[in-house]
């Protein structure tokens, strides 16, 4: 029991610290505690624990309450690592078989969705340190490698290599785009930002 309480306390502290570190608008811990994205992550951690203890219906019921209160829908069966930061949160959807590593950042409107009705792996896997920009859609059992960045509004249906940056619909790597498309982005990339406003991960 004490070990469980210790883990919960550590996780809560980590999540709060992560939110403060990733949001330049955060002025205090008290302010961060008001964030809907943070509430959504905590709801997920509770529902996931309930589901793992053999109570999937109760977990789903609570996750729907969380969806109503936060605007974020994370399936209790999804596997999510430590220090997830959901910025703004509204409209984020994480499917049942999605896997999310440590230190991942999801902006508002992100969908980690499936492409089939099969009762098997059908949602994306995100490695550690992945950043997914606002309104990006990632579909199917694809893998986004460690440290990769998905630009805002991108539609991703193929694997993304570790450390790569992809943008557009359909998504393509920045260093593989035609010169006519990539030329206007080069200066912004040198300063660490993509043209769609998603910061590059360093």
Catalytically active residues, by annotation: 88
Strand segments, DSSP code E, in the chain are 73-74, 79-80, 85-86, 93-94, 99-100, 105-106, 111-113, 125-126, 131-132, 137-139, 143-144, 149-150, 155-156, 165-167, 172-173
The one-character DSSP state at 198 is P
- List of E strands, 48-117: 73-74, 79-80, 85-86, 93-94, 99-100, 105-106, 111-113
For 129, list phi and psi in degrees, rounded to 5: 70, 20
Interatomic CA distance for residues 154 and 177, integer angstroms: 14
Task: Report the SS3 class of residue 81.
Answer: coil
Beta bridge partners of 132: 106, 150
């Amino acid at each position: 029991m004490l070990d469980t309480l210790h883990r919960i306390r550590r996780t809560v502290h980590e999540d709060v610290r992560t939110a403060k570190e990733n949001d330049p608008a955060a002025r205090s811990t008290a302010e961060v505690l008001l964030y809907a994205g943070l509430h959504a992550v905590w709801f997920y951690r509770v529902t996931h624990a309930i589901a793992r203890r053999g109570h999937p219906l109760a977990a789903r019921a609570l996750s729907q309450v969380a969806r109503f209160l936060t605007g974020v829908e994370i399936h209790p069966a999804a596997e999510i690592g430590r220090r997830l930061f959901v910025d703004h949160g509204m409209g984020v959807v994480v499917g049942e078989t999605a896997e999310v590593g440590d230190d991942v950042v999801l902006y508002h409107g992100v969908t980690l969705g499936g492409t089939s009705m099969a009762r098997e792996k059908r949602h994306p896997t995100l490695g550690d340190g992945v950043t997914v920009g606002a309104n990006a859609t990632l579909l199917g059992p694809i893998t986004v490698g460690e440290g990769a960045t998905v630009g805002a509004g991108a539609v991703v249906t193929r694997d993304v290599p570790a450390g790569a940056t992809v943008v557009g619909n359909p998504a393509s790597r920045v260093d593989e785009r035609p010169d006519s498309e990539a030329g206007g982005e080069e200066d912004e990339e040198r300063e660490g930002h993509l043209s769609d406003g998603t910061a590059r991960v360093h």
